[in-house]
Amino acid sequence: MGRFVKPWMPGHIVKVSSDIVSQRAAYSPVHQWCKNNVDNRMSWAFSGWSGNYEHTFHFKNEDDAKAFKTFYKLYRDKLLKR
């Protein structure tokens, strides 16, 4: 197997709006949440433009996916109130 293969893919999927989530991973608060809250970088993945106006996050662990959904909903709601 290759060095960066993630055999658990597609894993637990969370779809997000491309209007909310920037594809610039280094600067997106959503990507930063994953980097800071998921134990291992190999336990999550990002697929940009997986659908119309949509990006997809993949998580190896269901608990990480659930926590991410909770964070994302709060983040999205905060942005939409501006």
pLDDT at 2 (0 to 100): 52
pLDDT at 26 (0 to 100): 57
pLDDT at 42 (0 to 100): 93
pLDDT at 19 (0 to 100): 82
What residue type is 82 in one-letter code?
R
DSSP state string for 4-53: T--TTTT-EEEEEETTTS-S-TTT-HHHHHHHHHSS-GGGEEEEEEEETT
pLDDT at 3 (0 to 100): 64
* Residues in CB range of 20: below 8 A, 6 or more apart: 30, 72, 75, 76, 79
Q: What is the pLDDT along the chain (82 residues), one digit of tens a residue?
A: 456 789 999 999 999 998 887 656 657 889 899 999 999 989 999 998 899 999 999 999 999 999 999 999 999 998 888 6
